[in-house]
Structure formats: C-alpha cells, structure tokens
A and B are shown apart, each in its own frame.
Chain A
Amino acid sequence: MSVLVVVECDNGEVKKSSLEVASYGSQVAQMLGTTATAVAVGEATEANLAKLGEQGISKVLYDAEPRLKDFVNGAYTKLIAAAAGKEDSKIIVLANSNIGASVGSRLSVRLQASLATNVVELPKANGSSFTVKRGAFSGKAFADVVLSGDRKIIAVKKNSIEALHEAGKTATVEAFSASLSDADFTDAPKQVVMQDQAGGILLPEADKVVSGGRGMKGPENWGLIEDLAKALGAATACSKPVSDVDWRPHHEHVGQTGITVSPNLYIACGISGAIQHLAGVNSSKVIVVINKDPEAPFFKAADYGIVGDVFEVLPKLTQAVKELG
C-alpha cells in the first residue's frame, strides 16, 4: 500500500503547488512506514517527473495519452482511481486547486473515501483515523477535521507546506495506461484560453503578490503596480470593486468572493482592508500595507505599513528593489 500523490504539470514543469503536495504525501508515507507514488497529469517531461525524487517520491506513473494534457474531470478521475487501484493506495493527496478538488470530490464518492479539502498541515494519526487542520470560514478560522474509515483523500492548500528538496534523489518514471475511452472525455475542453500573464507569474501559484485597490484611482495607474511586481517577480491582484468596474480582469480579484491567496508576501496598495478582502489574503505570511489613511483597517492585519500616497511610495519601492540586485 503506497500513498498516492497527484501532481499537476504544465508546459513540462511540475507546478510548485504539486511539489508541496508531493512533499506532503511522502511525509505521510513515512509516517505510515510506506512509500509514496505519484500519478502525473497535464503536460510533463520524464526528466522533470524523475526529479520528484527530491520531494521523496519513489515512483511516478504517467499516461502520455495526448487528451490528458488539458484538464478533463471525467478522465482524470478515472486515471487516478486506476492508479490508486494499481498501487493499492488508501490515501490520496492532491492540490487544493480547481483541478485537484474537482477530481478529489468525485474520487471520494467513487472510492468511498473521506475527504478533506483546504488542508494546511500534516495529519495526526490516531489509530486508523487522521485529524487534519483545514481552513474554514474563508480564512477567518481553522477546523481540525477527523477523517475516519480506511480510505482518505486530502487536498492541500497552496503554500502551507514547505516543499522538500533532497538533492540528487530521483524517482522512477513508469508508463501507465488507464484504458480511457471516449466516454471519459465528455467534459474535454473545446478550447483552452490561458491568461496573458505579463511577467509569466500566475496569481494562484505566486509567492509574492502586489495588489491594488480603489486608491489607485484608475486603470491607467496600474503601471506602478506592474513595475513593482515585475521587479519583485510577483503576480498582480486587485480588490473586488477594481475588477467590478473592469479596471482589472476578474481573475485578479482576491477576497471572500474572489480567489484566496496565501503567498509569502502580499503588498496592498490603496486597499482599505474590508473584512471580505482580508478573508482572501490573511493567510499570507507577510502583509505590507500602503495607504494614505492611517486609520485604514488593513493596518491592523499588516506586518509592515507605510502611511503615504501610493503614487509617491510605489516608485520608491520599485527603485529600492532594483538597487538590491
């Protein structure tokens, strides 16, 4: 019985969140005295999959069926269920991504497993049951959830587990076929449209985020946000009203009704810090707030702050980052 880890790949690379998932899975395997096998989805290269050894994975299963390059819920579910069957895996770990959680929820029914999504810590084993900590109430709280039964599925929240890096270790990569048929591809995409990402950094995967609110005054000023983001290697984000009026696209809207981010660094520029905004960002490791109003509620949730005008402060920050080299 090995722990099965689902790794998502894109353009040949294993996603950073999946390196965390692999590290989570291998630590669970170690806890249970077994090994961790990965099953890879998306477009992968053998060399990059072999490198999952660094995250403690012994073996990687990969089905090179071309239609699996894009996310197809039906086919991914069947593939992973087949891999779990082959490896006799009772525990499956995946990313708490749109892909991971979509597949995980179907698998939980198919394999009669108990499921926890949005998990932020390694499990504590208690007999045959696991207790896992997960985020709840949109980042305003945590819940310790008991997963009982012998089959368990855990979806791990991004940036909550440190990825392991045991240099030099490699995993064996094994071709694997789940004998998929056309019926498994009913929800295959007709078309895939990837966002035009200025610096190539996707918000959900980003380590650092520079975010703008209504205090930025208009879309024409976003160059200030983008310059700092570029200098830092950060993704850009915004508050809800900013995307509501189309200053920025919807996929940049963070908060309770947008996406939840948990980067190492979140820099909020001209955002007041409404409770719904905080819900989407308050699990960030370090929060920096730049606001001209010293009473802005965001300062209460911040680690560092500058009371000042974004139009003066942002160029100075960008300059200082460039000087760091």
Chain B
Amino acid sequence: MKFLVCISNVPDTTTKITFTPDNKEFNKAGVQFVINPWDEYALTRAIELKEAQGSGTVTVLNVGEADTEPNIRKALAIGADDAIRVNAAPKDAYFVAQQIAAIAKEGAYDVILMGKESIDYNGFQVHGMVGEMLGIPTVAPAMKLDMSGSTATLEREIEGGKEIVEVNTPFVASCQQPMCEPRIPNMRGIMTARTKPLKVVEPVGEGARTEVAEYALPPKKQGVKLIPAESAGDLIKLLRNEAKVI
C-alpha cells in the first residue's frame, strides 16, 4: 500500500510570535522550525501500518522552499522511505491543496494522511480541499486509524463525541492524538535518511485564493488582580459583580 504523508513546517510550539515592522509577514528570524506536531501522528501511524502490512511505501510531502529540507530529512529519519518537496512558498491552503492533490493523483497513493491542522495558520482545511479535489472521502480529525485490506476503520472526533467510520482506499485522513505515540529519529534512522531520495518538483495549478493583509498580536492583559487565599470566596463575588461572567 502506498502512503502519502503531508507535513507542514511550522515554528516550534515555544516560539514567541512576532511580525515584520509592516505587520505583513511572520518574523522568521531566530525561529526554530519543526514538523507540525499533528503531522507527527500521521507520519508515525503510516509507518506503523506499513510495518504491519509487511510491504508498501511511505512518502512524505511538503510544499515549501528549500529551508524546509531539514524537517523533511527528519521525517525520513523517523522512517519514511522517500520524500517530495514542491518548491514553492505555501501561499495559502488552496494553493497547498492543489499541489498535494496533483502529487497524490500522479503517484496513485492509497492513503493520504495529514495532521489535524497546521499550528501556524490553524486552517483545518487542506485535508477537506484535497479530498474534494480528488473526489474521495476525507475523515477529519481522526483519533484512530486501522486498516484491514483496503478498508480503513477510523474514529472521527465530533464535538462532544466520536463517530466510527469505515472507508475504502483511496481516502484522506487528518490525524491527532491518541492515534499513536509519535516516533523520534534514532541514530540509524538519521544515517540512512541522508541517502533516501528527496525529489524536488515545481508547483502546478492556480495561485492562492486568499491573502493576509496584516497580522496583529492579541491585546495585552491589564495585569492580574490577586485575591488572598484566606478570602478566596471574594473571587466569586468579583466574577459576578465586576467581570460579570457568572
């Protein structure tokens, strides 16, 4: 079975977010980029399923410029077999989805796995778009994924519960915990990753449909009002009379 795992390259979760002086772009200076944490579930689960099946391939795909290659290599070190980078800045979700759909189609992948959402742009949309472009189901977000032959059983999270869904290949799923325990690269993985194939291709399709005019940081908090522990009950009065939230 052929697995395609899509990874986005995002600022480390501890990053303090700042923007360029015109507020038009994220300020990358000094920022450590990582594989999107949700995508680690997709990657690890694909590797586990391939191992369980005893055959098949796991290809990782990123739409990004050359500076994403260290994280693509990391995905190879974790256990993907080969990689594709679409050489373009990921302008928006629609643009990215077109690239993924084109590669998925050309490579006739059976299972296309993504993360629940990209933690930089928080779209929760690329998986739905790709499914629609390919005319196949998308299950998002999936907390569990098991395969038996060409049938997958998934747990799809809905607000307040979950649905057990069965779909046949090909399909798209977006992954989240507790699907698996994301793997970290080991020494052997890091060594072999260096020689695994990483193909760079040029983008296709139309441009982006949306554009960011300006970024802004949330307004600063006024500062905390402390209530002595002995008179903790006063907090409740403040929440009712001052903050008016209860």
Contacts and interface: CB of A to CB of B under 8 A. Distances in A.
A254 to B, nearest CB: 13
A163 interface: no
B162 interface: yes
B119 A138 contact: yes
Contacts of A320: 232-237
A175 interface: no
Contact of A149 (B122, B141, B209): B209
B227 A324 contact: no
B137 A141 contact: no
A44 interface: no
B233 A141 contact: no
A108 B140 CA distance: 16
Task: Label chain A's interface by main secondary structure.
Answer: mixed
B3 interface: no
B226 A317 contact: no
A102 B166 CA distance: 17
B163 A189 contact: yes
Contacts of A97: 159
B233 A316 contact: yes
Given A98-B158, A192-B163, A187 B139 contact: yes
Nearest to B141: A98
Interface stretch (B60-68, B77-85, B211-219): B211-219
Contact of B233 (A98, A136, A145, A317): A317
A77 B133 CA distance: 13
A146 B13 contact: no
A106 B129 contact: yes
A109 B215 contact: no
Interface stretch (B42-50, B184-192, B238-246): B238-246
Interface residues of B, number: 77
B125 A193 contact: no
B227 A305 contact: yes
B19 to A, nearest CB: 8
B99 to A, nearest CB: 14
Interface string A288-325: 11000000000111111111110011001101110110
Give chain A's interface residue range (CB within 8 Å of chain B).
Answer: 35 or more
B14 A300 contact: no
Given A117-B124, A256-B13, A299 B224 contact: yes
Given A143-B214, A251-B157, A304-B239, A117 B122 contact: yes
B141 to A, nearest CB: 6
Given A110-B132, A257-B177, A187 B165 contact: yes
B218 A105 contact: no
A282 B220 CA distance: 11
A33 B229 CA distance: 54
Interface stretch (A19-27, A68-76, A83-91): A68-76
Interface of B: 11, 13-14, 16-17, 19, 26, 37-38, 93-94, 97, 119-129, 131-133, 137-141, 143, 156-168, 177-178, 209-218, 221-222, 224-229, 232-240, 243, 245-246
6 contacts: A108-B128, A118-B124, A188-B165, A189-B163, A195-B160, A301-B221
Minimum-distance CB pairs A-B, first 3 = A105-B128, A308-B229, A320-B233
